[in-house]
Amino acid sequence: MTLLKPLLGLVLFGLAVPAMADEAEQGRELYREVCATCHGNEMMNPGLAFDLRKFPRDDPERFRNSVLNGKGKGMPAMQSQLSPEDIKALWAYVKSGD
Ligand code: HEC
């Protein structure tokens, strides 16, 4: 019985890690298509927009809100183009710091 918990944890961990890597990879592709023009390839900011490598990693709510509704003059609202899954994938990518 005492063995069951760590074993279960191990199995879940083994499932979760590749899934997370996949999500970030998906986000990377989306980023290239939709965000890179302004935010730069591989998040290397060309100086036009917010440097996403510096975005606070502990604030997914701000990320979601800024992407969905836009920010300031330059950041367009993306609500109509992106699904909730897209946003999750993009967040995973941004958090990975490329
Ligand atoms: C047309 C150019 C453009 C595109 C395309 C664009 N952004 Fe932005 N983004 C900006 C600019 C400019 C800012 C700075 C806005 C400000 O603070 O006034 C910004 C800011 C941000 C911020 C920071 C907002 C905050 O809370 O301070 C995030 C996060 C962000 N963009 C994510 C994305 C993501 C993800 C995509 C792709 C889905 C994307 N952007 C596409 C121009 C763009």
Interval 50-70: pLDDT, tens: 889 999 999 999 999 999 999
The answer to whether residue 2 is domain-embedded is no
**Is residue 36 a contact partner of residue 30, using CB atoms and an 8 Å limit?**
no
Q: What is the pLDDT along the chain (98 residues), one digit of tens a residue?
A: 677 777 777 777 777 777 777 899 999 999 999 999 889 887 776 667 888 999 999 999 999 999 999 999 899 999 999 999 999 999 999 999 87
Q: From the CB of 75, is ligand 1 less than 6 Å away?
A: yes
Burial track 42-74 (b if 16+ CB lie within 10 A, e otherwise): ebebeeebeebeebeeeeeeebeebbeeeeeee
- Structure tokens belonging to residue 22: 């996949």
The answer to whether residue 57 is domain-embedded is yes
- Which domain, by its residues, includes 89? 17-96
The answer to whether residue 3 is domain-embedded is no
Q: Quote the pLDDT of residue 85.
A: 95
CATH of the domain at 47: 1.10.760.10
**Looking at the 3D structure of the chain, how many domains does it have?**
1
Q: From the CB of 36, is ligand 1 less than 6 Å away?
A: no
The answer to whether residue 87 is domain-embedded is yes
- The CA distance from 71 to 46, in Å, is 18
